[in-house]
Amino acid sequence: MESYDAGQTVEAATGARRVWHAFHRLIAANLSRERENWPLWLPVGLGLGIAVYFLLRTEPPLWLALLVAGVPFLALGFTWKYERLFLLVLALAIVGTGFSAAKIRTLLVAAPVLEKKTGVVAIEGRIEHFDTLPTAYRVTLGAPRIEGIAEAQTPGRVRVRLRRDQEREALNISDRVRVRGMLLPPGAPTAPGQFDFQRYAFFNGLGGVGFAIGPLEQIEPAKGTQNASAGRIERVRQQVFDRVMAALPGQPGAVAAALMTGKRGAIDESVLAAMRDSGLAHLLAISGLHIGLVAGILFFGVRALLALATPLAVRFHIKKWAAVAAIFGAFLYLLISGATIPTQRAFLMMGLVLLAVLLDRTGISMRLVAWAAFVVLLLQPESLLGASFQLSFAAVVALVAVYEGIRQPWIRGKAAGGLVRRAGLYVAGVGLTTLVAGLATAPFAIQHFNRFAEYGLAANLVAVPITALWVMPWAVVSFLLMPFGLEQAALVPMGWGVEGVIETAGTVAGWPGSVALVPSMPAAGFVAFVLGGLWLCLWRGRWRYGGAVGIVTGLLTIAFVRPPDVLVSGDAKLFAVRAEEGGYRLSSRRAGKLAGRDWLRLAGDARSLPWPKSGQSEDGRLTCDGQGCIYRLHGQVVALAFALDALVEDCGRVDVNVVVSREPARGRLCAGTPVVIDRFDLWRMGGHAIWLGEDGARVRNVRETRGERPWVLVPDGRDRKTD
């Protein structure tokens, strides 16, 4: 019997080795066939290193960051004779480079940040940006001086909201101004895992935000040396915005100005909501579509004009002249539109395409996308975490992968057909582009915004042709006419097209079920989805379809997401409890509006149900009186104490599992309660989320999910460490 069992064990081990060797040979064979696609994974490795850096809970020292990149690069010199080992070490070197790039970027942008709210103080600074909002203005001030704040602790940049009735026509970009107002530190996430505005502000050099209580006064006009660089570009950008708004008042002007300058603040929330719910929000974010249209219009327009001059067309390469004009025009549009991540990526790619025209090469390929991603990630590693980077690259990677697969039959179809067939192929192309881009970006939109536009394809089939064939050509003409003061002749017809886009958005958004709210994927599910999508798009052999496993796995994890049962804001002003029918009951409709919106979106449910001021909720879970509430779920009892008397009473109850108090609960007062979250905990650790189960309560807070990083503001005022 023992001999038989031993034989079985040996046979099983031998079979396992055979399976492993077969699997190893299969992977090696596929990798060997895909050698030309290996470079496409360079930005993926770079992004992996960046992700590791941002996932850390403590800030790594600079020497460690340099070590994880330097050691693999040194090892390359000793492993170049061994291909597999060399490739492994190279992969580690690229990952280490991403890690080091993120660390170095953090050190380069580190600047003072306000540690606490100021009173009403005098604020001076040089105007860097104007933002026109529907009901106010917002100004970003560089090199500020803040009353009562030492120079060493003064942020490098602050943002102040102004009343709309304040005159600003006499003020210009780069003017030094003074205003009285109140400033606050950038806000922390409202719940664990939510958008981290402090990190965003840190990498944008924004050390304080606030509002004015008096007029903005000029104390020193703009200087020529400052107008010669970034200040001058921003001034031109603001002038373009103002002239568009003057020629096209109302929302058509606000949308047209956004398409031309990237400034979207003047667009009403109702229009923004309609654009989001109809799947047309991407038209407002200047990206590959807009850069491509501007470059394409200039390229074909200049080429057509030069072709009219027969001597030029015969003697010179007018196609290359047109390519140079298109590159120059696209670069100017990049500057005027604010040079965001999507526009940088689009310009890099379009620049390579036009460079290929100059060199008589074919330009559009996945390598182009990989090159653009590598450059953007290397220069701005923090962009990896942003919705802008993820959405724009997800769309372009998917589109290039699809069109590379159908390029030849598509070209043959266009060449063999007449005008009607070409028109049909154009409509089919718009539909296919919208479908592919929509499917590729939908999971990222869900992850960041918890929204999915049900009728995005229908809206884009109408709005994209209007934008491409009417709106953007007139925008280019407007730019060309502005130096002569004649831009209104082009802006008026441009406005007609913009009105059509707005009308389309409003109509589609009004259809029943136009938008679905969906909770975000867990982190592991999101990673599985991203890696699956990359595997599907970057490889070319049949094994690429194995990426569908990662995609499906990631999407299925949404079904297992369970929103928190109880949420508490960091300032203890807002509480929320999960209702039986879904959605949350919010303790206040006025306090913590931003947190309330974030929490509802987090749950993928827009319903804000009534909070009983006294008595019991409809589902029987929540019972309140004037001093506090009791929430019951899964056999657990959570006491929400609003006053000291309620805290004393709740801590004395033997059936209470969790106490959340607006008042301090120190000493032995709540010694017998398993979980106590008091005012000090909320102040120090930020917002809390609580999940209740049969086996007890699970608690997470904002601070523990963010760790000790340079962008995390510490309530007790300790210095943030960057090394």
DSSP string, 518-559: -PPPPHHHHHHHHHHHHHHHH--SGGGGGHHHHHHHHHHGGG
Average pLDDT over residues 660-671: 79
Structure-token match 């072709």, residue found: 307
- Give burial (CB, 10 Å; 0-12/13-18/19+) of 151: exposed
Residue the block writes with tokens 């060493």? 152
What's the alpha-carbon Rg for the chain, to the nearest Å? 29
- Rounded Cα distance, 640 and 661, in Å: 6
Q: Which of 336-345, 374-383, 587-596 holds the top average pLDDT?
A: 374-383
pLDDT at 230 (0 to 100): 60
Residue, of 514 and 225, whose pLDDT is higher: 514
Tell which residue, 288, 302, 280, has the closest CA to residue 345.
Answer: 288
pLDDT range class, residue 364, cuts 50, 70, 90 = low
pLDDT bracket for residue 225 (50, 70, 90): very low
How far apart, in whole angstroms, are the C-alpha atoms of residue 651 and residue 26?
63
Return the closest-CA partner of residue 646 out of 623, 671, 625, 667.
Answer: 625
Distance in angstroms (rounded) separating the CA atoms of residues 692 and 688: 13
pLDDT in the model for residue 262: 86
Mean pLDDT of 530-540: 94
Percent over 70 (pLDDT), the chain: 91
479 neighbors 229 (Cβ within 8 angstroms): no
Q: What's the gap between Cα 514 and its chain centre?
A: 23
Q: What pLDDT, on the 0 to 100 scale, is given for residue 717?
A: 45
Q: Which residue has the higher pLDDT, 168 or 633?
A: 633
Q: Which residues contact 310 (CB under 8 A, 6 or more apart)?
A: none
Q: Judge whether residue 384 has pLDDT over 60.
A: yes
Cα separation of 450 and 87, whole Å? 39
| pLDDT confidence tier of residue 719, bands split at 50, 70 and 90 | very low
> What does the chain come to in residues?
723
pLDDT class for 487, splitting at 50, 70, 90? Answer: very high
Helix/strand/coil for 110: coil
Residue with tokens 């003047």: 266
Instruction: Find residue 127's DSSP bridge partners.
Output: 141
Mean pLDDT of 550-564: 93
Strands 688-693 and 696-701: antiparallel
Say if residue 511's pLDDT is above 90. yes
What is the separation, in whole angstroms, between the first and last Cα of the chain? 64
Task: Please give the pLDDT value at position 30.
Answer: 80
Mean pLDDT, rounded, of the chain: 86
Q: Under DSSP, is residue 703 helix (H, G, I), strand (E, B) or coil? A: helix
- Identify the pLDDT of residue 3: 53
| Predicted pLDDT of residue 84 | 82
Query: How far is Cα 259 from Cα 290, in angstroms, rounded to an integer?
Result: 8
Mean pLDDT over residues 622-646, rounded? 91
**pTM attached to this predicted model:** 0.86
pLDDT digits (tens, 9 = 90+) for 22-38: 777 777 788 888 888 99
Q: Is the pLDDT score of 374 beyond 80?
A: yes
What is the 3-state composition of the chain as percent helix, strand, coil, each rounded to the nearest 5? 55, 15, 30
| pLDDT over threshold 70, residue 6 | no
In the prediction, which pLDDT does 718 show? Answer: 46
The residue among 541, 543, 344, 531 whose CA lies nearest residue 443 is 531
In whole angstroms, give the CA distance from residue 542 to residue 34.
Answer: 11
Decide if pLDDT at 341 tops 80. Answer: no
DSSP-derived secondary structure letter, 137: E
Q: Within 13 Å of residue 714, how many CA atoms lie on the same side as its CB?
A: 11
Q: For residues 310 and 344, is the Cβ–Cβ distance under 8 A?
A: no
Closest CA to 713 of 208, 120, 124: 208
Per-residue model confidence (pLDDT) at position 12: 60
Q: What is the pLDDT of residue 65?
A: 94
Top mean pLDDT of 207-216, 218-227, 296-305, 525-534 is at 525-534
> For the residues of 320-333, what is the DSSP string, one character each?
HHHHHHHHHHHHHH
Instruction: Please say whether the beta carbons of 291 and 350 come within 8 A.
Output: yes
What six digits make up the tokens of 539?
């490889």
Of 111-115, 567-571, 581-585, 587-591, least confident by mean pLDDT is 587-591
Task: List all residues 6 or more positions away from 369 whose beta carbon is below 8 Å from its beta carbon.
Answer: 349, 393, 396, 397, 400
Q: How far is residue 100 from each of residues 258, 377, 449, 652, measured CA to CA in Å?
A: 36, 12, 30, 53
pLDDT for 157 equals 93
What are the tens digits of pLDDT across the range 161-190? 987 666 555 677 888 999 999 999 999 999
The answer to whether 244 touches 481, Cβ cutoff 8 Å, is: no
Handedness of CA 480, 481, 483, 487 (dihedral sign): negative
Contact between 329 and 354 (Cβ < 8 Å): no
- Show the tokens assigned to 392: 């724009």
Give 35's strand partners: none
pLDDT of residue 234: 80
| Confidence tier at 227 by pLDDT (50, 70, 90) | very low
Structure-token pair, residue 403? 């069109």
pLDDT band at 285 (very low <50, low <70, confident <90, very high): confident
Residue 12's SS3 state is helix
Check: CB of residue 62 under 8 Å from CB of residue 38: no
HEC profile of 397-454: HHHHHHHHHHHHHHHHHHHHCCHHHHHHHHHHHHHHHHHHHHHHHHHHHHHHHCEEEC
Cβ contacts of residue 353 below 8 Å, gap of 6+?
A: 363, 364, 368
Report d(CA 243, CA 262) in Å as an integer. 14
Q: Which residue has the higher pLDDT, 606 or 256?
A: 256
* pLDDT band, very low/low/confident/very high, at 286 (cuts 50, 70, 90): confident
pLDDT value at 721 more than 60 = no
- pLDDT mean over 669-673: 78
pLDDT of residue 478: 93
Residue 46 is which amino acid?
Answer: L
Q: Give the contacts of 581 (CB within 8 A, at least 6 positions apart).
A: 607, 609, 619
Mean pLDDT of 384-412: 84
The amino acid that residue 638 corresponds to is V
- Residue 719 CA to residue 713 CA, distance in Å, equals 9
Among 277-291, 541-555, 672-686, which stretch is predicted with the lowest mean pLDDT? 277-291
Q: In this predicted model, what pLDDT tens digit does every residue of 148-158 receive, in sequence order?
A: 999 899 999 99
The mean per-residue pLDDT over the stretch 320-336 comes to 88
Alpha-carbon distance 87 to 84, whole Å? 5
Check residue 713 and give left, alpha or beta (phi > 0: left; psi -120 to 50: alpha).
Answer: beta
Q: Check whether 716 has a pLDDT greater than 60.
A: no
**CA dist 303 → 35, 211, 298, 419 (Å):** 38, 50, 8, 22
Q: How many other C-beta atoms can be found within 10 angstroms of the C-beta atom of residue 421?
A: 12
Chain center to CA of 164 = 28
Question: According to the model, what pLDDT value does residue 24 have?
Answer: 73
Predicted confidence (pLDDT) at residue 40 exceeds the cutoff of 90: yes
- Nearest CA to 495 out of 168, 228, 252, 233 is that of 252
